Homo-oligomer: A and B are copies of this chain.
């Protein structure tokens, strides 16, 4: 039976390939997680099990998609960075974001019992929507990640204070909200201090969120200058002409993939705003493999 009579409908599909030579961020967000966290009685202000589960699902995404050079997550959201030279799925926006959202969800559901033993998932299930954003320069990309990490801090400080007020001073949610309205960071730190909490001692995982990357050997900085001789941060060194990007041979690509798999995924709760993070892990921005740890 010929299908030609109907096949014209394929021509309604529209191209959505993302601009070349730009960093692609796929960010996913939990759908209705406020309600979801209430249903499963997540601990307040932050449930470590839930964060660990997010990180576990994110690490699985990075293992399945070697093109992802970095992941950053906080609360119920996670950002995945594809290298600017990435050619996966011909850079089609749809394929990239749905693959990430689907893979993340699959692991979130499968791993749930490991992190919430004895708590049975029921309808409606945890799901995540996603989007893609392109950043033309390393600076734009780093600013994006810094934006998310600063946001993590802002929200965590607020939530920590909000719940401390409720849990330790016995006021209700509405009162806590009023109490915090218009306060600065310093005010919140002060409130916490009076409630017996030193915000600095809160878990890094909550304050910084989670950074994921392939776990190669860190590069040490020049002790005198605090800088590597050849910084990896300049666009100049990164901006190896797109035209000169040598496609690695098939076997080289295969070797690279294996090395990445061997490296495993580092799960860190550290600052990614300062240069140091990037200088010690040059492979993230070069997209190449680093040296495997012994």
Q: A residues engaging B (CB < 8 A)?
A: 1, 3, 5-15, 17, 19-22, 28, 31, 60, 63-64, 84, 89, 93-95, 97-99, 101-110, 121, 123-140, 143-144, 146-147, 150-151, 153-154, 185, 234-236, 238-239, 241-243
Contact = CB atoms under 8 A, between A and B. Distances in A.
A94 B130 CA distance: 6
A176 B28 CA distance: 44
A105 to B, nearest CB: 4
Contacts of A151: 3
A133 B12 contact: yes
B99 A127 contact: yes
B21 A19 contact: no
A129 B100 CA distance: 8
Contacts of A99: 31, 127, 129
A135 B9 contact: yes
Contact of A98 (B3, B28, B109): B28
Nearest to A92: B131
30 contacts: A1-B153, A1-B154, A3-B151, A6-B143, A6-B147, A8-B242, A9-B133, A10-B147, A11-B20, A12-B19, A13-B133, A15-B17, A19-B19, A21-B136, A22-B136, A94-B129, A97-B98, A99-B129, A101-B102, A103-B127, A105-B106, A109-B109, A110-B121, A136-B137, A137-B235, A139-B242, A140-B242, A234-B236, A235-B236, A235-B239
B129 A102 contact: yes
Contacts of A138: 239
A254 B93 CA distance: 34
Contacts of A150: 1, 3, 6
Q: Which of A15, A124, A127, A143 has the most CB of B within 10 A?
A: A127
A6 B146 contact: yes
A131 B9 contact: no
Q: Which of A6, A20, A97 has the most CB of B within 10 A?
A: A6
Given A8-B143, A98-B101, A234-B236, 6 more contacts: A9-B133, A94-B129, A98-B98, A98-B129, A105-B105, A110-B121
A128 B99 CA distance: 6
A103 B102 CA distance: 8
A68 to B, nearest CB: 14
Nearest to A30: B102
* A-B pairs, 10 with minimum CB distance: A235-B235, A6-B147, A136-B136, A98-B130, A15-B15, A106-B125, A98-B101, A102-B127, A234-B236, A9-B144
